[in-house]
Amino acid sequence: MTIFVAHAGRAAEPAAPAVESLPTIEVIGVSPVRGLEQPRNEIPSSVQSLDRENLEISGTASLPELMNRQLNGVNVNDIQGNPFQADVNYRGFAASPLLGTPQGLSIYQDGVRINEPFGDVVNWDLVPRNAIAGIDLIPGSNPLFGLNTLGGALSIHTKSGFSDPGFELEAEAGSFGRRSLDVEAGKKFGDSALFVSATRFRDDGWRDFSPSSVDQLFAKFSKRTGPLELDLAWTHADTDLIGNGLLPGSLLQQRRESIFTRPDTTKNRLDLVSLDLGYWLDDASRLSATVYHRRNQTRTLNGDANNDFEEGPNDGETGANGGLGFNVDTAANNRTRSTQTSWGGALQWSRLDDDNHVAFGATADMSRTSFMQTTEPGIFDASRAVINGSGELLDTQLIGTTRSWSLFATDTWKPRSEIAVTTSLRYNHARVATHDQGPSAPALEGDFSYSKLNPSLGATWQLKPALTAFASLGQGNRTPSPIELGCADPNNPCSLPNAMQADPYLKQVVTHTLEAGLRGQTGALKWNAAAFRADNRDDILFIGTGTSQGYFTNFGRTRREGLQLDATAQSGVFAWRAGYSYVKATYRSSACLLAPDNSSRGGDAQCAADEIRVHSGNRMPGIPLHSLKLGVEYTVNANWLLSADAVGFSRQYVRGNENNAHQAGGAFPGSGEIRGYGVFNLGARVKLERGWELFGRVTNLFDRRYATAGQLGQNPFDANGVFQTNSDDWTHETFTAPGAPRAVYFGLRVKL
């Protein structure tokens, strides 16, 4: 939670004496539970914050787009080709909606963790963007944010009728059939307030067969009566997303708008109810409580090549049809249906004195997931859609449950006015169980418990009024989710999203993070410089065995380390920002990993024919070493504002090239890398009369052709997109996620 507290005088009449303005104090929440806030200058890490003004100026449709453009250290892998389904990487740790991505960031909305319980994934389409008042990105393994906080936490806080009274309507339309409507209204009624917002978003997508829709509704009732503070909030979302995923290089060269296979749809229906209570016991002590109930129904339909076709009875490789093969069961519709219900709460006592800020509390969270997956064999039509299905076959049906509780305590002590020392401790206990109800029962039965005590220590030292040094050391842990435990057998790989087999035990991931740096202010210039290192033990990785199959496994050690530099300034009519980050994400252990589409497979005597040898020091896929983000705003006059921003990223390795040794040539076209790229965006808004505003923006101004992510894979289609029924003719290619072309959007906003 970010609270801006300012004490400033104002001259009501020219004759009145001037009143001196005191400095603004910015306070940042250091845990999900409200009431545990610290001045930014006393936080021993590089916290980044965005408010509603940042959202309005950027004009981005989704949180991943916003963070990619404005938060330093963040890069996005647009694996699905949909703005609401991107992998968000921060300092090498991911928050992703895609199963199979190692999750390492915890995401909170008003103190409620919104990582899905079944796979720790994050559905960005379920965050009520129009209701966001601000976000804080807190780096490191902060134990106060609980499980899954390996690389950091994103804390989202929403508007209320007290903070945002009035009425606002915004309509936008533009390229690729995009149109959206946002409405919000806030009203104060004495000591009570009500806020309501609604969003309707439609987009045809710039790639073939890629329409999406997002409908969101948010309501919050607030009450402030003496020492009591109450917020009752409801979030509802109904979304239908199409993410057509990666594209092999041969199809990409012919037409960037192409897709690989279809359909690829994800439908979510969410209801989240949360109650946030605060009671001031006296002027310095506060009791806080949060309770919630969350239910999300997800339906997916993915048209893929049939994993059972290769070397099967219809494959020409086996001699079927004289080596030509038969176009029978070459494709498959993989469907999943899941209902995830979670509930829980937190209780916290905190006290703020002049030289000491102490808090302790407890949390409890439970979830139950009902999951089913089916496969329907078929064939591909001319557009590579799966048709002529022969009926659904049940693959998996199970119940996954998680139960966790924790105790935590923290203390910020100021032995001197310029020094603040923060110590924190949290004990986590979790139990993860799977109950098999499918055809393989009881193969998926499992019941595992995990416990961990996570400490942290940090300090800030105000060397000068405008210069502060800081350092912190923390530990966090993540327990395996039901999907990971249910897909951990290398002899029985799973078909993503979720088909599961027998489940060996997986260890929990433990991360140690060290950060140190300086921040300060010189005139109008504010700056921050920090170095960091995060070491993971028993990281959980998804090892691919084909275009849509693989399994989860523990992998020794991994490391993310680097440097982050930030600067902002306001000078007259100009405001600008600049951020540079260096993130080196590497494996720190040696192991054999399955990589059947890597040209160096089988090159190490210690590994099998379809495996590669990953050595300590090899870079992890999807994380560029360097990134640069620039932004400028020019206030032409009281009514006109112009803005421009640019992002640039260096090259990165694709998934499947974990040993960084893949070479293009022969049967392996494609380099196994994504080239570096830069994208430039423009925006403008003009204030009209009576609260009306007109705005416009251009994204990817120079129509740069680039890709944000990639993977080594097998392409069963020929140059004309026709399925080849002899698997000997399939090619090993680099699949990439092409970036969106230039787009233009215009809109109208009214504020009353």
- Write the pLDDT tens digit of every residue in 398-428: 898 999 999 999 999 999 999 999 999 999 9
The rounded distance, in Å, linking the Cα atoms of 467 and 22 is 19
Tally of helices (H runs) and strands (E runs) in the chain: 4, 42
Question: What's the mean pLDDT in 479-493?
Answer: 67
Give the residue, 145 or 119, on which the prediction is more confident. Answer: 145
User: CA 527 to CA 569: how far, in whole Å?
Assistant: 9
pLDDT value at residue 746: 96
Structure tokens at 706: 């680039």
Is the pLDDT at 192 greater than 50, yes or no? Answer: yes
pLDDT digits (tens, 9 = 90+) for 420-463: 999 999 999 999 888 888 887 777 777 889 999 999 999 999 99
Domains of the chain, start order: 168-751 (2.40.170.20)
* pLDDT at residue number 102: 79
- Residue 221 clears pLDDT 80, i.e. is over it: yes
Q: Which helix (H) or strand (E) holds 64?
A: helix 63-70
Instruction: Return the pLDDT at 101.
Output: 75
In SS3 terms, 377-446 reads as EEEECCCCEEECCCCCEEEEEEEEEEEEEEEEEEEEEEEECCEEEEEEEEEEEEEEEEEECCCCCCCCCE
Predicted pLDDT of residue 238: 98
Q: What's the mean pLDDT when you consider all of the chain?
A: 89
The residues with which 185 forms a beta bridge, in sequence order, are 167, 196
| Average confidence (pLDDT) over 114-140 | 93
Q: What is the pLDDT of residues 524-561, one digit of tens each?
A: 999 999 999 999 988 877 665 544 456 677 778 999 99
Short-list 724, 719, 723, CA closest to 384: 723
Identify the band that residue 502 occupies on the pLDDT scale cut at 50, 70 and 90. very low
Answer whether residue 13 shows pLDDT above 50.
Answer: no
Other C-beta atoms lying within 10 Å of the C-beta of residue 490: 14
pLDDT category, 30, cuts 50, 70, 90?
A: confident
> Shortest CA distance to 496 belongs to which of 119, 123, 238, 209?
119
Q: What local confidence, expressed as pLDDT, does residue 503 receive?
A: 35
For the segment 702-722, the average pLDDT, to the nearest whole number, is 92
Mean pLDDT of the 63-81 span: 92
- For 562, counting Cβ atoms within 10 Å of its Cβ (0-12 exposed, 13-18 middle, 19+ buried), the class is buried
* Cα–Cα distances in angstroms (integers) from residue 174 to residues 167, 180, 203, 604, 652, in the given order: 24, 10, 9, 52, 31
Tokens of 225: 């009566």
* Nearest to 550, CA basis, from 598, 500, 599, 504: 500
Reported as a pLDDT band with limits 50, 70 and 90, residue 24 is low
The whole-number average pLDDT for the span 606-620 is: 91
Q: How high is the pLDDT of residue 729?
A: 93
Using CA atoms, how far apart are residues 614 and 593, in angstroms rounded to an integer? Answer: 7
Beta bridge partners, 714, equal: 732
- Sorted by sequence, the CB contacts under 8 Å of residue 718 that are 6+ apart come out as 724, 729
pLDDT > 70: percent of the chain: 92
Whether residue 690 contacts residue 167, with contact meaning beta carbons closer than 8 Å, is answered with no
Helix, strand, or coil (residue 318): helix
Q: Phi-psi region for residue 315, left (φ > 0), alpha (ψ -120 to 50) or beta?
A: beta
**What local confidence, expressed as pLDDT, does residue 22 receive?**
46
Of 511, 510, 427, 423, nearest to 472 by C-alpha is 423
Given pLDDT bands bounded at 50, 70 and 90, which one contains residue 60?
confident
Work out the percent of the chain whose per-residue pLDDT is above 90.
70
pTM assigned to the model: 0.92
* Mean pLDDT of the 453-481 span: 93
Res. 481 pLDDT band, cuts 50 70 90: confident
Tell me the C-alpha to C-alpha distance, in Å, between residue 393 and each of 196, 419, 494, 738: 44, 64, 15, 34
Mean pLDDT of all residues in 46-57: 88
Mean per-residue pLDDT for 342-360?
A: 93
Q: Is the pLDDT of residue 374 over 70?
A: yes
Residue 19 has pLDDT above 60, yes or no: no
Best CA proximity match to 87, nearest among 280, 245, 209 = 245
Residue 550: per-residue pLDDT: 60
Contact by Cβ (8 Å): 310, 547:
no
Contacts of 10 (CB under 8 A, 6+ apart): 19
Reply yes or no on whether the pLDDT at 6 is more than 60: no
pLDDT exceeds 60 at position 23:
no
690: confidence class by pLDDT, cuts 50, 70, 90: confident
Residue 162 has φ and ψ, to the nearest 5°, of: -75, -45
Q: Are 110 and 157 in contact (CB under 8 A)?
A: yes
60 vs 370, more confident:
370
pLDDT tens digits along 639-672:
999 999 999 999 999 999 999 999 998 888 888 9
CA-nearest of 276, 457, 288, 277 to 361 is 288
pLDDT at site 5: 34
Give me the pLDDT at residue 39, please: 85
Q: How confident is the model at residue 100 (pLDDT cuts 50, 70, 90)?
A: low
pLDDT for 21 beyond 80: no
Per-residue pLDDT tens digits for 232-290: 999 999 999 998 889 999 999 889 999 999 999 999 999 999 999 999 999 999 999 99
Rounded to whole angstroms, what are the CA distances from 727 to 107, 314, 544, 663, 716?
A: 43, 10, 19, 22, 7
Other beta carbons less than 10 A from residue 22's beta carbon: 10
